[in-house]
Amino acid sequence: MNTDSRTAGRGVERGWVISLLSGAIDWAAFASHLLARTAERLRADAAELFLRDLQDGDLVLEAVHKLDASRAGFLRFKRGEGVTGSALEHPGGLVIADRKKHPAARHPENFSATPLPSMMVVWLGENEGTTGMLVLYREGVGSFKDADLAEANLAAKQLEVMLDFGAVVSSFTPHQAVRHIENQRDARNFRGKMVAPGQCLGTLSIHRHESAADILEHERMASRADAADTALFDRALARARVELSHDRAELRRLIPEAAVMLFDAHEMMLQDDQFAAKIRRAIGSGMGVAQAIGETAAEYIHLFESSQHESVREKARDIEDLALRLLDNLPDDARSADFERGRILVARELRPSEIVRIARASVGGVVLCSGGATAHIALLLKSLGIPAMIARSADVMQLADGLPALLNATDGLLLVNPADDVKNVFLQRADKISSPPEPLPAGGVFTRDGARVTTLANVNLLSEVRPILDLRADGIGLYRTEIAYLVRDNFPSENELAELYKNFLGSTRSIPVTVRTLDAGSDKFIDYLHSTREDNPALGLRSIRLTLRHPEILRHQIRALLRAAAGRDNVKLMFPMVSSLDEFRAAKSIYEKCRLEIEDETSLPCGFKIGMMVELPAAAELAPAFAREADFFSIGTNDFIQYMLAIDRSNAGVMEYYTPHAPSVLRALKRVASAARDAGIDCSVCGEMGHDPLFIPFFLGIGIRTLSVEVASLSTVHRVASSVTIPECEAYANALLAANTINETQTLLRDFSSQ
């Protein structure tokens, strides 16, 4: 073990770390122990440790010393709330000699629980903002003084190093907390934000190339001595074309949804005679080839960047990428980066063309600097399963090439030069992680008393289908079709969609599949579709409203799916966010027209069962009427909660109001389930409540027998469902449904979880 002498006490804590590692104590005990030691050292009579919530930046109580522990995990302060929240404005810390006299100390939650008179609050973490707070209270040995701050800050620093160390080696994954790690003598650690989940151990490969814009500017200003030779350019152009078509084919194999999006603009520009002719003219006037490429690209970039439309401005990045591809294909160009198998690539930014090379080389992980990951790049890295994070500090670029490092992208942590014991723990854990999760039982999932629970998976990408088959899920309960629209700059054509769906359905080996039509808008913003940002996009032109406003979009999608599904009987179709029967009928009538057309065109009978997502209070209210016209219901609880409670599902600032256990939500869910049962149609749940161990029994208790969850949660459904009986679930659901307040349902959930 690395007993770094700068972190005093680490040697002493070794026993605790080992206990944590071996599982003899848990994270909470470890954190409480460290807090107690820190409090003793600072002669505090009581203490609290707060860590910041990654989502909303609130300070959440993590551990206490000699105070009421039941508030841990629940007590939270926003910036400016109470002394703890106010301390966010004071990097050096805050001392309050007599809390009774201090206005900020009158936060009722805090004061009633800790009536000690003197208080001191110091930050955990410094340069990049605090990652938590150490709060100390005194009664007996005299009030805290400003002079105590220096020692407290030092102790907080050491506490933080130990906490981080513990977080890394324990099985605790600190999703809720951002923890900053101090640079150590031989080890440096960087915090960041996850782009794509996963972890890897490897050596760093620092991609220190200038940004694309800098390279082009450089070429433009200082021409290489290369000849003004159009033949050179023509050769580069021809090579770039071949390369592009290879990259595209590769991408089609790796991420079919993105294949069209990535190099569309590149291909267009390469076909664009004006672009090439302009470069040739510049060469003809005596300019070096590289300079002519840089010069022409700069003109186009300027043109695109001055557009009012974001989607056109984004095209400027494509031109940069394409110009670099041309430059790369000039003789003697040494700019191409070497991406190597298993290495952790650290780069300021990544260009789309580099993504394919990264995938081809099986790079182990990616660390980007902030601003270096566009939404598209993030999505691609995720789809490729390459762990990636955005580092908060650009200092990562200063690291030496070849250093050993551990990237835990899921928790936003890069450990450079990790100690041997940390590496060993990682490897042991990686073994566990990489060993595939247990497949579901071959005969299906059953409750203890023998009720069959149909366990389906939600899918966004084609690449997710394979694991679903391997895990023996009963089918796909929700295929979100947005990705093909989101990763592009313009509409996919009917043919492109048909090809994508054919690929998708082909890969499902005929397990049941429910496809949802385009659910664009709100959090799934598609810029070429939405010409203006709406003030309230969640209440605006989204989902089925949008596609009914532009029926061609719906027609293309449905026709493409009908064509792709010809000869299959495993496909169902559903419409999202249906708010009225009128809307549902309008969508069904478009479907019916498409069905007749395709039947006519192919001379084959075709058609799907047609269902709807129940995501709105309006749909719950009218559920019995809908159940007479829909073949099935799928409850999208993510939106259902949002609209029932008028709470923005993606606004971290109001997350505490996003309460799935609100009695109104639970009772409305029950009404929907009953309406489906009375009409004899299937009703499943495909929102995130469906994989919550506290709600799975509730759903079973209200008669729902089909849950569709993310692949990673299939085993949770199995574990929970197979541990309960239906009468137990019914009793639990009834108790929840009888409660009138969120507090009561919260208590019932808590009691259930502690059973």
Residues near ligand PEP (CB under 6 A) are 478, 480, 519, 615, 636-639, 686-687
Residues 6+ apart with CB under 8 A from 422: 2, 168, 169, 406, 415
Pick one of ligand PEP, Mg ion, none as the site partner of residue 160 (Cβ within 5 to 8 A by kind).
Answer: none
**CB 636 to ligand PEP: min, Å:** 3
- H or E element: which one contains 253? helix 230-254
Residue 314 or residue 639: which is nearer to ligand PEP going by CB? 639
**CB 618 to ligand PEP: min, Å:** 15
- 636 touches Mg ion (CB under 5 A): yes
Pick one of ligand PEP, Mg ion, none as the site partner of residue 75 (Cβ within 5 to 8 A by kind).
Answer: none
Output DSSP code: residue 427: H
**CB 478 to ligand PEP: min, Å:** 6
**CB 450 to Mg ion: min, Å:** 33
**CB 636 to Mg ion: min, Å:** 4
Quick one: CA dihedral 21, 22, 27, 28, positive or negative?
negative
Coil, strand or helix: which one is 197? coil
**CB 662 to Mg ion: min, Å:** 18
Q: Two tokens at 258?
A: 């993105």
- Separation of alpha carbons 93 and 77, rounded Å: 16
Crossing angle of the two packed helices 310-328 and 289-305, in degrees rounded to 10: 170
The site string for Mg ion over 637-666 (x = CB under 5 A, - otherwise) reads: --x---------------------------
Residue 262 or residue 518: which is nearer to ligand PEP going by CB? 518
Q: Two tokens at 210?
A: 């200038």
Residues 6+ apart with CB under 8 A from 651: none
- 489 touches Mg ion (CB under 5 A): no
Residue 390 or residue 669: which is nearer to ligand PEP going by CB? 669
Residue 296 or residue 684: which is nearer to ligand PEP going by CB? 684
Q: Two tokens at 228?
A: 């003004």
**Stretches 233-241, 345-353, 631-639, 695-703: which one binds Mg ion (CB under 5 A)?**
631-639
Pick one of ligand PEP, Mg ion, none as the site partner of residue 480 (Cβ within 5 to 8 A by kind).
Answer: ligand PEP
Residue 390 or residue 520: which is nearer to Mg ion going by CB? 520
Residue 226 or residue 482: which is nearer to ligand PEP going by CB? 482
- 688 touches Mg ion (CB under 5 A): no
Residue 329 or residue 638: which is nearer to ligand PEP going by CB? 638
Coil, strand or helix: which one is 407? strand
Q: Two tokens at 727?
A: 């009468």
Instruction: Determine whether 63 is exposed, middle or buried from the number of CB atoms within 10 Å of its CB (0-12, 13-18, 19+).
Output: buried
Coil, strand or helix: which one is 683? strand
Coil, strand or helix: which one is 635? strand
**Stretches 252-260, 345-353, 636-644, 656-664: which one binds Mg ion (CB under 5 A)?**
636-644
**CB 643 to ligand PEP: min, Å:** 9
Quick one: CA dihedral 728, 731, 732, 734, positive or negative?
positive
Coil, strand or helix: which one is 64? strand
**CB 522 to ligand PEP: min, Å:** 8
Residue 499 or residue 519: which is nearer to ligand PEP going by CB? 519
- Characterize 573-587 residue by residue with b for buried, 16 or more Cβ atoms within 10 angstroms of its Cβ, and e for exposed: bbbbbbbebebbebb
Question: Are the C-beta atoms of residues 132 and 49 closer than 8 Å to each other?
Answer: yes
Rama region for 338: left / alpha / beta (φ>0; ψ in -120 to 50; rest) = beta
Q: How many CB atoms lie within 10 A of CB 621?
A: 13
Pick one of ligand PEP, Mg ion, none as the site partner of residue 174 (Cβ within 5 to 8 A by kind).
Answer: none
- Separation of alpha carbons 191 and 360, rounded Å: 27
**CB 689 to ligand PEP: min, Å:** 8
**CB 530 to ligand PEP: min, Å:** 16
Question: Are the C-beta atoms of residues 629 and 581 closer than 8 Å to each other?
Answer: yes
Pick one of ligand PEP, Mg ion, none as the site partner of residue 412 (Cβ within 5 to 8 A by kind).
Answer: none
Instruction: Determine whether 445 is exposed, middle or buried from the number of CB atoms within 10 Å of its CB (0-12, 13-18, 19+).
Output: buried
Residue 125 or residue 636: which is nearer to Mg ion going by CB? 636
**CB 48 to ligand PEP: min, Å:** 36
**CB 496 to Mg ion: min, Å:** 24
**CB 299 to ligand PEP: min, Å:** 41
Q: Two tokens at 185?
A: 């003598």
Pick one of ligand PEP, Mg ion, none as the site partner of residue 382 (Cβ within 5 to 8 A by kind).
Answer: none
C-alpha 89: how far from chain center: 29
CA distances to 91, 95, 115 from 118, in Å: 19, 8, 9
- Separation of alpha carbons 373 and 370, rounded Å: 7
Coil, strand or helix: which one is 745? helix
Residue 478 or residue 553: which is nearer to ligand PEP going by CB? 478
Residue 514 or residue 637: which is nearer to ligand PEP going by CB? 637
Instruction: Determine whether 564 is exposed, middle or buried from the number of CB atoms within 10 Å of its CB (0-12, 13-18, 19+).
Output: buried
Pairing of the two strands 413-416 and 404-408: antiparallel
For residue 410, give the amino acid letter: T
The site string for Mg ion over 586-625 (x = CB under 5 A, - otherwise) reads: ----------------------------------------
Pick one of ligand PEP, Mg ion, none as the site partner of residue 411 (Cβ within 5 to 8 A by kind).
Answer: none
Pick one of Mg ion, ligand PEP, none as the site partner of residue 686 (Cβ within 5 to 8 A by kind).
Answer: ligand PEP
Residue 191 or residue 480: which is nearer to ligand PEP going by CB? 480
Residue 390 or residue 668: which is nearer to ligand PEP going by CB? 668
**CB 688 to ligand PEP: min, Å:** 7
User: Strand (E) positions, 29-113?
Assistant: 46-52, 59-65, 76-77, 94-96
Pick one of Mg ion, ligand PEP, none as the site partner of residue 637 (Cβ within 5 to 8 A by kind).
Answer: ligand PEP
N-terminal to C-terminal alpha carbon distance within the chain: 38
C-alpha 134: how far from chain center: 30
- Separation of alpha carbons 563 and 494, rounded Å: 10
Pairing of the two strands 132-138 and 46-52: antiparallel
**CB 564 to ligand PEP: min, Å:** 21
**CB 660 to Mg ion: min, Å:** 14
C-alpha 751: how far from chain center: 30
Residue 499 or residue 639: which is nearer to Mg ion going by CB? 639
- Separation of alpha carbons 633 and 676, rounded Å: 7
Residue 13 or residue 482: which is nearer to ligand PEP going by CB? 482
Q: Two tokens at 420?
A: 């041997």
Residue 48 or residue 639: which is nearer to ligand PEP going by CB? 639
- Give contact residues for Mg ion (rule: CB under 5 A): 636, 639
